[in-house]
């Protein structure tokens, strides 16, 4: 039956969760995505029972757990800070939760042996936290939670404080765990992390859920300007409807006409285009079914393997291109280019 939040509100240190309604089904890998300060951690801690909501109820598998203490909720929790007991080795840290539950010693040994093997921690089981890397500490914290066999697990930014290699390893571990019949709620501000792991997603802003759905749906159909900007739609314009033309609708922003493939339901609307959906050309191109705009390079931002090109084409456009093409074409500020993008790439918000 999963987890259900009904009208959850909570004020805490000058911040408020506002009327949160959410259903996380059994076996979901649910991502709570949003910028720092949007309320993700406060919501996670309220689900865990560290804070009691001012209004609303929390249900787990159909049972109201709003007034249940954290240790009796049977919810696993892995915090960003990855708190391990410094005086205990890896094996002892993993066994701690079982020991607190009064699990017989023989069963503790059996369960910990299994977890060490599954998590690939057997070779470091005698080490203490001071001798572990950031990634190893996170894996131990995760193993400690798994040892108590919770059905639901909450992760608060588990990949933030570790290096790229450790992050990739831990991602693989999280994917493996998600296939074990666990219900997971994972908080992150990193959209790449969220989209690579989750099968459901909610975007948060200022204590509210502003869009909930499948990751692909949220990515391709952002409902608000905030969601579009947060997910990397650099080109966002307020437009007015001009006309319907053959298979397209034509909208205009500051005198620049754009073709849109989806029906435009109102005279005024906001449209968004991702930088990677715009192709940069170095000579005039045919506009057959495409948006084609002539412009001038006003700025560029080196992003390592890619370059973000800022082009003045009556509107300020951001387009993404590979570093190789940028270098080969010897692009400079002031150079004339043409931008093209499909009408399907113009999303109506």
Q: Please tell me whether residues 271 and 211 are part of one structural domain.
A: no
Q: Given this model, what pLDDT does residue 287 score?
A: 77
Which pLDDT tens digit goes with each residue over 277-287?
A: 999 999 998 87
**105 Cβ neighbours under 8 A, 6+ residues apart:** none
Q: Please tell me whether residues 155 and 95 are part of one structural domain.
A: yes
Q: Given this model, what pLDDT does residue 204 score?
A: 97
Residue 227 lies in a domain: no
* Of the residues 221, 248, 277, the one at which a domain ends: 221
What's the predicted TM-score (pTM) here? 0.87
Residue 84 lies in a domain: yes
Which residues make beta-bridge pairs with 154?
77, 185
* Of the residues 168, 192, 221, the one at which a domain ends: 221
For residue 272, give its domain range: 232-348
CATH code where residue 49 lies: 3.40.50.300
Cα angle vertex 256, ends 251, 259, to 5°?
40
| Residue 338 structure tokens | 């043409």
Distance CA 59, CA 51 (A): 15
Q: Which residue has the tokens 């391990």?
A: 84
CATH code where residue 289 lies: 2.40.50.100
Q: Please tell me whether residues 41 and 63 are part of one structural domain.
A: yes
Q: Please tell me whether residues 78 and 118 are part of one structural domain.
A: yes
Which residues make beta-bridge pairs with 307?
302, 321
Distance CA 25, CA 4 (A): 8
Q: Please tell me whether residues 213 and 284 are part of one structural domain.
A: no
Helix (H, G, I), strand (E, B) or coil at 39: coil
Q: Please tell me whether residues 23 and 159 are part of one structural domain.
A: yes
Burial (CB count within 10 angstroms: exposed 0-12, middle 13-18, buried 19+), residue 332 = exposed
Cα angle vertex 333, ends 328, 339, to 5°?
70
Q: Given this model, what pLDDT does residue 306 score?
A: 95
**303 Cβ neighbours under 8 A, 6+ residues apart:** none
Q: Given this model, what pLDDT does residue 108 score?
A: 92
Q: Given this model, what pLDDT does residue 259 score?
A: 94
Distance CA 215, CA 210 (A): 14
pLDDT < 70: residue spans in the chain: 289
> How many domains in the chain?
2
Which residues make beta-bridge pairs with 342?
290
Which pLDDT tens digit goes with each residue over 221-253?
A: 999 999 999 999 999 999 999 988 778 899 999
Residue 226 lies in a domain: no
Q: Please tell me whether residues 245 and 337 are part of one structural domain.
A: yes
Distance CA 144, CA 147 (A): 5
DSSP 139-196: HHHHHHHHHT--SEEEEESTTTTS-HHHHHHHHHHHHHHHTTT-EEEEEES-HHHHHH
* Of the residues 173, 195, 221, the one at which a domain ends: 221
Burial (CB count within 10 angstroms: exposed 0-12, middle 13-18, buried 19+), residue 67 = exposed
Which pLDDT tens digit goes with each residue over 314-332?
A: 999 999 999 999 999 999 9
Distance CA 60, CA 336 (A): 59
Which residues make beta-bridge pairs with 253?
256
């Amino acid at each position: 039956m999963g987890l259900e939040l009904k009208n959850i509100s909570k004020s805490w240190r000058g911040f408020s969760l506002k009327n949160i309604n959410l259903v996380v089904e059994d076996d979901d890998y649910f991502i709570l995505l949003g910028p720092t300060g949007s309320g993700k951690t406060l919501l996670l801690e309220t689900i865990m029972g560290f804070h009691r909501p001012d209004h609303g109820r929390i249900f787990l598998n159909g049972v109201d757990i709003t007034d249940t203490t954290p240790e009796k909720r049977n919810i696993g929790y892995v915090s960003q800070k990855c708190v391990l007991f410094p005086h205990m080795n890896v094996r002892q840290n993993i066994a701690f939760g079982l020991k607190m539950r009064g699990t017989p010693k023989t069963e503790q040994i059996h369960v910990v042996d299994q977890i060490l093997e599954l998590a690939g921690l057997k070779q470091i089981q005698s080490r203490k936290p001071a001798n572990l890397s950031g990634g190893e500490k996170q894996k131990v914290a995760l193993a400690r939670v798994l040892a108590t066999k919770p059905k639901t697990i909450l992760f608060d930014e588990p990949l933030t404080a570790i290096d790229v290699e450790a992050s990739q390893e831990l991602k693989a571990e999280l994917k493996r765990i998600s296939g074990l019949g666990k219900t997971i709620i994972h908080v992150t501000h990193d959209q790449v992390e969220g989209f690579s792991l989750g099968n459901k997603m909610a975007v948060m802003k200022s204590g509210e859920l502003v869009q909930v759905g499948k990751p692909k749906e949220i990515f391709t159909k952002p409902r608000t300007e905030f969601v579009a900007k947060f997910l990397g739609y650099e080109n966002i314009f307020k437009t007015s409807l001009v006309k319907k033309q053959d298979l397209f609708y034509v909208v205009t922003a500051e005198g620049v006409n754009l073709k849109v493939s989806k029906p435009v339901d109102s005279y005024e609307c906001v449209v968004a285009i991702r930088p990677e959906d715009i192709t940069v050309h170095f000579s005039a191109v045919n506009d057959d079914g495409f948006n084609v705009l002539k412009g001038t390079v006003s700025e560029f931002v080196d992003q390592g393997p890619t370059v973000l090109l800022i082009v003045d084409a009556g509107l300020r456009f951001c387009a993404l291109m590979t570093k190789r093409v940028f270098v080969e074409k010897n692009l400079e500020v002031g150079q004339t280019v043409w931008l093209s993008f499909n009408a399907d790439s113009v999303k109506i918000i």
